[in-house]
């Protein structure tokens, strides 16, 4: 692109030569008859030439000229040039800048498209190929905490979750005594009863990272995406361990195995298997 701009600038500088001017065909014939034309270069119907002696045109001294013939180059004009001992040169017409740019435009667009793709992949975290990445929302311990003081009621549930909080705060204490943390807790209840708030309160009380994801986010139209997102979610959890992974509305994927039309090949079935494993 810079090379094209450089050539265009060089062309403009050449065309703005103060010693060169556009003349009419009549003026050209007059200079030819006076024997003042030294050399011409013919390109189709365009002629560029050099004078033997400078002439004044529009209060400017010129030694070179350009003109466009009113018709095609004729044998008679060539004979007149030869009679005056004019050096004759001929060139084939070159495509203009507009033609060059139009011919290069598809390639420029193609290159720009791939540059955009690569930048998207590098700067955007490979968003074009992130179907298998989990959509979990991470709430770090640095964010404003939700504690049991924010949960009204549910005293029995809070009491049962206290042991998990103590384990998350000091897992080595329980490990020395041979204790094992439950691999999961199932919070059951109608919508709006505070299940999500309870889970966040456990993370807030323990001061641990909290991953939140809806069960419906696991399932997509692409086969295998749900299981891949489950694996990715737990990989992120291992990096932040000990932490809490909260799957809201797990009934979107949790049901009896083999209940789908596709049997074991059903997308929800594969997602459920990945969750249980």
Domain boundaries, the chain: 2-90, 99-130, 131-276
Q: What is the pLDDT of residues 186-243, one digit of tens each?
A: 888 888 888 888 888 888 888 888 888 887 777 765 666 777 888 888 888 888 877 8
pLDDT computed for residue 53 by the predictor: 93
Angle 135-133-275 from CA coordinates, rounded to 5°: 80
Query: Is CATH 3.30.720.210 what the domain over 2-90 is classified as, yes or no?
Result: yes
Read off the DSSP letter of residue 144: P
Asked whether this chain's domains 2-90 and 131-276 adopt the same fold, the reply is: no
Peptide bond before residue 244 is cis, with ω within 30 degrees of 0: no
Query: Cα(75)–Cα(88) distance, rounded to whole angstroms?
Result: 13
CATH architecture of 131-276: 3-Layer(aba) Sandwich (3.40)
Distances in Å between the alpha carbon of 33 and those of 30, 49, 160, 203?
Answer: 5, 15, 114, 101
pLDDT computed for residue 128 by the predictor: 47
pLDDT computed for residue 228 by the predictor: 80
Read off the DSSP letter of residue 71: S
Would the pTM of this model clear 0.85, i.e. be above it? no
Residue closest to 215 by CA, chosen among 233, 198, 202, 197? 233
Mean of the per-residue pLDDT values of the chain: 78
Query: Cα(6)–Cα(4) distance, rounded to whole angstroms?
Result: 5
């Amino acid at each position: 692109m810079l090379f094209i701009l450089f050539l265009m600038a060089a062309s403009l500088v050449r065309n703005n030569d103060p010693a060169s001017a556009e003349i009419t065909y009549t003026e050209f014939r007059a200079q030819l008859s006076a024997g003042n034309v030294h050399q011409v270069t013919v390109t189709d119907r365009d002629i560029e030439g050099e004078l033997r002696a400078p002439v004044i045109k529009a209060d400017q001294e010129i030694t070179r000229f350009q003109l466009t013939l009113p018709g095609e180059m004729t044998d008679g004009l060539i004979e007149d040039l030869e009679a005056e001992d004019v050096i004759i040169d001929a060139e084939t017409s070159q495509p203009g800048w507009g033609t060059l740019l139009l011919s290069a435009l598809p390639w420029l667009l193609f290159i720009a498209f791939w540059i955009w793709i690569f930048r998207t992949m590098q700067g955007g975290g490979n968003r074009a190929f992130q179907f298998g990445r989990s959509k979990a929302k991470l709430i770090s311990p640095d964010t404003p905490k939700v504690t049991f003081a924010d949960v009204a009621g549910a005293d029995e549930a809070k009491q049962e979750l206290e042991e998990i909080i103590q384990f998350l705060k000091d897992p080595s204490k329980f490990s020395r005594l041979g204790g094992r943390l439950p691999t999961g807790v199932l919070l059951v209840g109608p919508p709006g009863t505070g299940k999500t708030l309870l889970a966040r309160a456990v993370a807030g009380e323990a001061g641990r990272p909290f991953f939140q994801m809806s069960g419906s986010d696991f399932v997509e139209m692409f086969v295998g995406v749900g299981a891949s997102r489950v694996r990715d979610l737990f990989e992120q959890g291992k990096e932040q361990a000990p932490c809490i992974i909260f799957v809201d509305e797990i009934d979107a994927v949790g049901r009896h195995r083999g209940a789908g039309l596709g049997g074991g090949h059903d997308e929800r079935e594969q997602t459920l298997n990945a969750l249980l494993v």
